[in-house]
Chains A and B, each alone.
Chain A
C-alpha cells in the first residue's frame, strides 16, 4: 500500500497533503459504529418505528459527514523539514518537522509516526504552527533520511481513519560511533617516525585527567570501580598525555576494520577537541589540515561520517 503511496507522493522538502495522497477508511471502531447503525435499522424496521429508523439514518449520515471531516482535517497540511542536528551512530536521529496548517484551518488530533520506530501526537486546533521532533534509531554513520512518515487522525469521532504517507526530503548526518581505542589497539603503527618518542596517546597512563562517561568497548582496567561502587554509575578514568603540539588523526595509523578505525578516530577527535588541541585529519581520500574549534571538529566528523560513502 505505501509503495503505491510512494509513487504518488515523491520525496520533497515540503509536502502539502492533498486529495491524491490522503486515504480515508472506516477504522475498527467505525465498523462497530456501522454495525450499530445496522442493528438500529433492524430494530426500527421490525417495530415499524420511523423514529428508530430515523436514528439509524442519522447515525449513518453522521458517519458520512465525519468522512468529509476526517479528510478535511488532513487536507492542506504543510509538512516541511527543518534542519536537525547531527548525532553519533547508535543514538537516535531526531528529525525536526514543521507542520503548517492550511489557511483558516485547524488540524486536530494528528498522530505522526515514523514506522515502526516512534510516534508523536500533535494538535493544531488553534491554527498555530506545530514543531515536532520525531526519532529514528541510527545504527550506521552517513546521511540518514526519515523512513516513510505516516500522518494519521481519527478525528472527529474515531470512526474514520484518515492517513497519508509522507516522504520528507531531509537528511541528518550521523557521525561514526565514538569508540575508545584501548591499549592493545595501539593507535600508532610501529616504526612511525613522526610520532616516535611521543607516547602520549589515548589510554596512555600518564596523567589522570578526571572521569569521563563510560563508553562501550572500554577496557575494564579503565573503569572507575570505586566510583561505581558508590553508586555514581559507570565512569572511566581518563588518563591523557599533556602534549600541546599539533597531531594528525591518521586513518592509516589505525588498526582494524574500516568502521573500527573511523570510530577510533572519531573518539580521538572528540577528546582532542575537548583538550583544546590542534589536530588534522588524514583519510586516504581527503586531508584536513590541523586546526581547532567547533567548526573544525564538525568538518572532521563530517569527513569521518562520509568516508567511503557516496556523497549525497
Chain B
C-alpha cells in the first residue's frame, strides 16, 4: 500500500559502465571511512614507529585525497620504485640490521600506508581494509588493557564500516545507515565470537620474533648499578598481582625475590651464570635445588599474575618448593632459589607457587663454588671498607655480633633518601664512611661488600618488597616503586639468612611501603605521588584496577589449561571434542535463530482487527452459500447477502456499516461492536 515510491533503473552497456568506473573507481564515502580507519589503527602504534614513517603516512594520505579530488595524479612508476627502495633504507637507518618486532611492525605499517598510492579500484580498497584489520589487531600485542581493547574493537568497527560503505551503492549511502548496519553485524557476531573464544583449542607458539629492548617495560634488570632503582621507583606501573590461597603474609614477610647477584666489579652487581638457567637448564629438570631447602611450618600457596617483562625470571616469596605455569611451560628453580622460565615473559603470565616462609637454605654446608662466589671482591676497590671490616671482625668475635654492629651503625648514622649524593670510584667506601645517605641498592650493596671483606659469604638479592592489598579483593598489587634490593648472608648452622639493611635505616619502608619512608621532597619523585595521596581518586583508581584485574583474569589469561578445566566442569564424561561439537552446534543454532528471526520479520503484515472480523464474517456467510465475488466491495457483498438471508438482513447491514466505519472512516471506536456483532451472528 505504501509502496508508491518506485525507482526505475535501466541497464547500461557494459562498455559504458567500464568507462564510468575508470573515472571514479573508489566511492568518496568509502574512502573517507577508510582514512578514519587507517589513522585510528595506526595511532596506538605511533610510539613504536619511527616518526618519519608517520610523516610519510600523512603525506601519502593527502596525496591520495588529492587524487580523489582530481587535483593530482597517481605517482609515476619511477617515483613508486623510488619510495619502495627508500623504505628499507629508512628502516635500516632507524633500526640497523637486526630484524625485531619493531622492524616488522614498521614494515607492515609502511606497506599499509604506501599501498594507498596504488588504490585504483574497488578491490584495492577491500585489500587495504584487510590490512587495516591486521594493523588494528597488532596494537593488541602492545596494549592489553581493557580500555585499549575497547579502542581496538572500535578500530575494527570502523574498518568494517569501510567495507559496508564500499558495498553500498552511492544512491543508498547514508552514514547513519553504515553505522547502524555495522553495529548490528557486530552485535550479532559477538555471541558467536565468545563461543569460539572459549571453545577453539589453543596451541603453543610456533616461532618468536624478539621484541626490541625499547619495547620492554621498566622493571628489575640483570644488573644493579647506582641509580638504577631510583629510576624504577619513579614508575607507578603495575609489576604483578598476587592472590593467596589463605591469609596474605605480613608486609615484612613479603620479599619477592627475582635475582640473586654475586658478581661485583666495583660498581655493578651482576647475576652469575651459575644462578641463571641459560647454561645449566638440563640440570634443573625436576627442580633438584628445591631440595636444598629444609622447610618447616605452613606452606603458602599463591598465584602470581605477572605483567609482561620481556625477561625470563619470575617473582616468588622465599622458600619456593613448587611452581607451575600451565602445561606447556616448565619453571626452573635455580641454585640461588630463584625462579625462571625458558622464554621471556612477553604476555601477561599467571603461575602458581608454593613457598615455605619458614625454611633453611643450604644449612648443612655451602658448596665450595657457592662460597667462592659469595666471597668474591674486586681488587683495588674500597680499601677503607676492607680494612675496617677486618678490624670490626676481630673486635666483634662472631659473625652475628659483627652483623649486629654494622646494622646498628646503619640505624644510627644513615639517612634514607631517593636523592643520594653521587658516588665516585670506591662506592662502598664513600657511602659507608662519608655520604651515609641512600636507598636500598646502596645499603644492600655496601653491606655485602663489607661482610665479604670480613670473610662472611653474602650476596645481593633484588626484586620487590611489600605491595598493597586491595580492599575489595583478596589480592596484592605490586608496583615498580616497590622495587627493592636486600642481602643474604650465609651463617654457620643457619644457612642463607635474609638481612635487609634498609630495614635498619628506614623500618617503615618495609612495614608500610616506600611512600611512608620518604620526606615530601623525595615523595615527589615517586611515580604518581600526587594521585596516591588523594583518597577519592585513589578509590576510583582501585575500582578501575579491579575491573582491569577481572579482565586479565577472565580474558587475557584464558589458556589451554583453563579451557580444559572449564570443559571438565561442564561435562566430566564428555571428550573435549564432544564439547567442541556441542558448542559449535550452539553457534550454528544461534545463526539459525538469527535467520529464523529475519524470515519471521518477512511474513505478511498482520491483518487489521477489523479485517480479521470481516474475514470471520465472510466465512460464516460461506456456510450459507454466500460467496464473495472477485472484486466485490464489502457494501455490495452485504447487500447481496442480506437479500439471500432476509432473516439476518439487519445484522448483516449493521456489520457492513460498522466495517466501513472502522476501515474507511478510521473510527476505531466502532471496532468492539463490529467484533461483537460478527461473533454473535448466527447463520443457521
Residues of A at the B interface (CB closer than 8 Å) are 29, 32-33, 35-36, 39-40, 42-62, 64-69, 71-72, 75-76, 94, 100-105, 108-109, 114, 118-135, 154-159
Please tell me if the beta carbons of A118 and B13 are within 8 angstroms of each other in the complex: yes
Cβ-neighbour of B14 out of A40, A118, A132, A154 (below 8 A): A118
User: Helix, strand, loop or mixed for chain B's interface?
Assistant: helix
A–B complex contacts, Cβ < 8 Å, 18 sampled: A53-B197, A58-B190, A61-B196, A62-B189, A65-B594, A68-B598, A72-B595, A118-B12, A118-B13, A119-B14, A122-B9, A123-B171, A128-B3, A131-B6, A133-B9, A154-B167, A157-B167, A159-B163
Say yes or no: A130 contacts B163, CB within 8 Å: no
Asked if A123 meets B13 with Cβ closer than 8 Å, knowing A62-B185, A66-B185, the reply is no
Cα–Cα distance between A193 and B79 once the two chains are bound (Å): 84
Q: Nearest chain B CB to A271's CB is how many angstroms away? A: 30
Chain B residues numbered 109-151 whose CB sits less than 8 Å from any CB in chain A:
123, 126-127, 130, 133-134, 136-138, 140-141, 144, 149
A55–B6 touching, CB < 8 Å: no
Given contacts A120-B9, A135-B11, A158-B163, whether A62 and B186 have CB atoms under 8 Å apart is yes
**Beta-carbon contacts of B274-311 to A below 8 Å, as 1s and 0s?**
00000000000000000000000000000000000000
Closest CB of chain A to B599's CB: distance in Å?
Answer: 7
Segment with Cβ contacts to A, from B412-420, B432-440, B515-523, B551-559: B551-559
Once the chains are docked, how many angstroms separate the CA of A159 from the CA of B591? 17
- In the complex, the answer to whether B189 meets A51 with C-beta atoms within 8 Å is no
Contact yes or no, B190 A61, CB < 8 A: yes
- Residues B3 and A109 in contact, CB atoms below 8 Å apart: no
User: Chain B residues with Cβ under 8 A from A39's Cβ?
Assistant: 134
The chain B residue sitting closest to A155, CB to CB, is B167
B172 interface residue per 8 A CB criterion? yes
Residues B189 and A156 in contact, CB atoms below 8 Å apart: no
- The residue that A125 contacts in the complex, of B141, B152, B172, B205, with Cβ under 8 A, is B172
A66 contacts across to B, CB distance below 8 A: 185
Chain A residue at minimum C-beta to C-beta distance from B205: A46
Stretch at the interface among B601-609, B610-618, B656-664: B601-609
Collect the chain A residues with CB atoms within 8 Å of residue B206's CB.
42, 45-46
Task: Tell me the complex Cα distance, A101–B196, Å.
Answer: 35
Given contacts A52-B137, A134-B11, A157-B163, A65 and B347 within 8 Å (CB-CB): no
Contact call A36/B168, Cβ cutoff below 8 A: no
**A103 B163 Cβ-Cβ under 8 A:** no
Rounded to whole Å, the gap between the CB of B571 and the closest CB of chain A is 22
A105 neighbours in B (Cβ, 8 Å): 601-602
Query: Which residues of B are found within 8 Å of A32, using beta-carbon distances?
Result: 126-127, 130
CB-contact partner of A47 in B11, B141, B171, under 8 A: B141
Q: Of residues 449 to 501 in B, which have CB atoms within 8 Å of A's CB atoms? A: none
Task: Give Cα A60–Cα B197 distance, bound, in whole angstroms.
Answer: 11
Q: Among residues 182 to 219 in chain B, which have CB atoms less than 8 Å away from a CB atom of chain A?
A: 185-186, 188-193, 196-197, 200, 202-208
- B8 close to A133 (CB less than 8 A): yes
B10-A133 in contact (CB<8A): yes
In the bound assembly, the distance between CA atoms of A42 and B141 in angstroms comes to 13
Give the one of B5, B13, B137, B144 with max A CB within 10 A: B137
Q: In the assembly, what is the distance between CA of A15 and CA of B10, in Å?
A: 20
A97 to chain B: closest CB distance in Å?
A: 10
Binary interface encoding of chain B residues 1-30 relative to chain A, with 1 for a CB under 8 A from any of its CBs, else 0: 001011111111110000000000000000
**Across the interface, do B8 and A64 meet the contact criterion of CB distance under 8 Å?**
no
Contact A68 B594 (CB under 8 A): yes
> Does B598 lie within 8 Å of A61, measured CB to CB?
no
- Contact check, B598 vs A72: say whether CB atoms are below 8 A apart: yes
Interface size class of B (residues with CB under 8 A): 35 or more
Which residues in A have their C-beta under 8 angstroms from that of B168? 108-109, 123, 125, 155
CB atoms of A47 and B12 under 8 A apart: no
Identify which of A47, A102, A132 contacts B602 (C-beta below 8 A): A102
Distance (whole angstroms) from the CB of B224 to the closest CB of chain A: 30
The answer to whether the Cβ of B47 comes within 8 Å of any Cβ in the partner chain is: no
A29–B128 Cα gap in the complex (Å)? Answer: 11
B595 nearest in chain A by CB position: A68
Residues B156 and A132 in contact, CB atoms below 8 Å apart = no
Indicate whether A127 sits within 8 Å of B3 (C-beta atoms), given known contacts A36-B130, A65-B188, A75-B602: yes
Q: Shortest Cβ distance from A49 into chain B, in angstroms? A: 6
By the criterion CB–CB under 8 Å, are A133 and B601 in contact? no
Chain B residues with CB under 8 A of A100: 3
- Within 8 Å CB of B601, what residues of A? 103-105
A32 to B559, CA, bound (A): 28
- Residue of A whose beta carbon sits closest to that of B131: A36
B5 and A126 form a contact (CB under 8 A): yes
Q: Is the Cβ of A45 less than 8 Å from the Cβ of B203?
A: yes
**In the assembled complex, which residues on chain B have CB atoms less than 8 Å from the CB atom of A60?**
192-193, 196
Q: Does B225 contact A (CB under 8 A)?
A: no
Closest residue of chain B to A77 (Cβ to Cβ) is B602
Give, as a whole number of angstroms, the nearest-CB distance from B583 to chain A: 12
Contact status of A103 and B605, CB under 8 A, knowing A109-B168, A130-B9: yes
Which A-B residue pairs are the 9 nearest by beta carbons?
A: A61-B192, A61-B189, A57-B196, A51-B140, A123-B172, A118-B11, A102-B602, A158-B167, A72-B598
How distant is the Cα of A69 from the Cα of B160 in the complex, in angstroms?
14
Docked CA distance A40–B134 (Å): 7
- Cβ contact within 8 Å between A156 and B181: yes
Counting chain B CB atoms within 10 Å of each CB, the highest count among A50, A64, A101 belongs to A50
**Least Cβ distance of B2 to chain A in Å?**
8
**For A94, what are the chain B residues with a Cβ–Cβ distance below 8 Å?**
10
CB distance from B550 to the nearest CB of A (A): 14
- Tell me the minimal C-beta distance from A45 to chain B in angstroms: 5
Q: Specify the chain B residue showing the minimal Cβ separation from A41.
A: B200
Across the interface, which residues of B come within 8 angstroms of A129, CB to CB?
3, 5-6
Query: What is the bound-complex CA distance between A191 and B172, given in angstroms?
Result: 68
Partner of B140, one of A46, A49, A75, A123: A49
Q: How distant is B552 from chain A, measured CB to nearest CB, in Å?
A: 10
Q: How far is the CA of A71 from the CA of B602 in the complex (A)?
A: 13
Which residues of B are found within 8 Å of A104, using beta-carbon distances? 601-602, 605
Measured CB to CB, the nearest residue on chain A to B8 is A131
In contact, A45 and B152 (Cβ under 8 angstroms): no
Within the complex, what minimum Cβ distance (angstroms) separates B176 from chain A?
12
Q: Does B324 contact A (CB under 8 A)?
A: no
B87 interface residue (CB < 8 Å to A): no
User: Closest approach, in angstroms, between the C-beta of B42 and any C-beta of chain A?
Assistant: 16
- Whether A65 touches B11, Cβ cut-off 8 Å, given contacts A29-B126, A42-B206, is no
**In the bound complex, what is the Cα–Cα distance between A172 and B179 (angstroms)?**
43
- Contacts A45-B203, A55-B152, A62-B160 known; list 16 others, CB within 8 Å: A50-B555, A52-B138, A53-B197, A61-B191, A68-B591, A105-B602, A120-B9, A121-B169, A128-B3, A131-B9, A132-B10, A133-B10, A156-B164, A156-B185, A157-B160, A158-B126
CB-CB under 8 A for A123 and B169, given A32-B126, A129-B6: yes
Cβ of B160: which chain A residues have Cβ within 8 Å of it? Answer: 62, 157
B602 touches A29 (CB 8 A): no
Asked if A48 contacts B189 (CB within 8 A), the reply is: no
B258 at the interface (CB under 8 A from A): no
Residue of A nearest to B187 (CB): A65
Residues in A whose Cβ lies below 8 Å from that of B9: 120-122, 130-133
> Are B177 and A55 in contact, CB atoms less than 8 angstroms apart?
no
Contacts of A35 in B (CB 8 A): 130
Cross-chain contact B137 with A132 (CB below 8 angstroms): no
A10 CB to closest chain B CB, in angstroms? 23
Q: How many Å lie between the Cα of A201 and that of B10 in the bound state?
A: 40
The answer to the question of B548 belonging to the interface, with a C-beta cut-off of 8 Å to chain A, is: no
Give, as a whole number of angstroms, the nearest-CB distance from B584 to chain A. Answer: 11
Set of chain B residues within 8 Å of A130, measured between Cβ atoms:
6-9
Q: Which residue of B lies closest to A110 (CB)?
A: B169
A48 CB contacts on chain B under 8 angstroms: 204-205, 346-347, 559
Contact B7 A128 (CB under 8 A): yes
B339 within 8 A of A: no
A45 and B141 CA atoms in complex are apart in Å by 12
Let me know if B167 and A120 touch, CB within 8 A.
no
Complex Cα–Cα for A123 and B177 (A): 13
Report the separation of the CA atoms of residues A158 and B125 in the bound assembly, to the nearest whole angstrom: 11
